Amino acid sequence: MNTLNDNELLRLIKKGDETAFTTLFHRYWTRMHLGAHSILKDEADACDIVQEVFIWFWQNKESIVINTTLKGYLLQAVRNKCINKLDKLATGEKRRKQYAYLKETMVTAVPMENSELRLTLHAAMGELGVASRTAFEMIYIDHKSQKETALELGISAHTVKTHVRNVLRKLRKKLRNINEI
């Protein structure tokens, strides 16, 4: 199998040949891992990404259409997965900072302000639509991702993002009003 070129391997893989897939795995694992590691700077994450790409490749072998080289296709798949992972980590960090700000604002306020703040937040949450409030609570209270929230609510991730953005805008406006009093 090691003497077969990538096109021959791909043809056999599409037919379900596990030996051809194993050959492909051994041929490109190291290069894919190096690519993932150079982007993520984390050994375990790099291994996970390469494994995910190979699993996805095997599961979708019949429907894969490659317009470049097989090597280029696999390396691009790894790069894309790495970028998605970095984006998800950045989004999670941004959410944690926003939540920490809200929590800090509530905790550091003097008791009377804290009570007023709690009442204002509760009132603001009551003014929200059910879908917006649910999406916000799933992300900020239940710590679910936008994708998980979208699946559970039966809406697109973009719609979830819009709901949460609108809720945050409304809450910021209400909090600014408290600080002006």
> What CATH code is carried by the domain that includes residue 116?
1.10.10.10
Find, among 97, 113, 118, 121, the residue nearest to 172 by Cα.
121
Tell me the C-alpha distance between 165 and 157, whole Å. 12
| Mean pLDDT, rounded, for 32-53 | 93
Count CA atoms within 13 Å of residue 68 on its CB side. 8
Q: Is 146 part of any domain?
A: yes
For residues 23 and 68, state if they share a domain: yes
Instruction: State the pTM of this model.
Output: 0.53
For residues 115 and 171, state if they share a domain: yes
- Please write the tens of the pLDDT for every residue from 118-174: 777 777 777 888 888 888 888 887 888 889 999 988 999 899 999 888 888 888 877
Boundaries of domain holding 17:
6-86
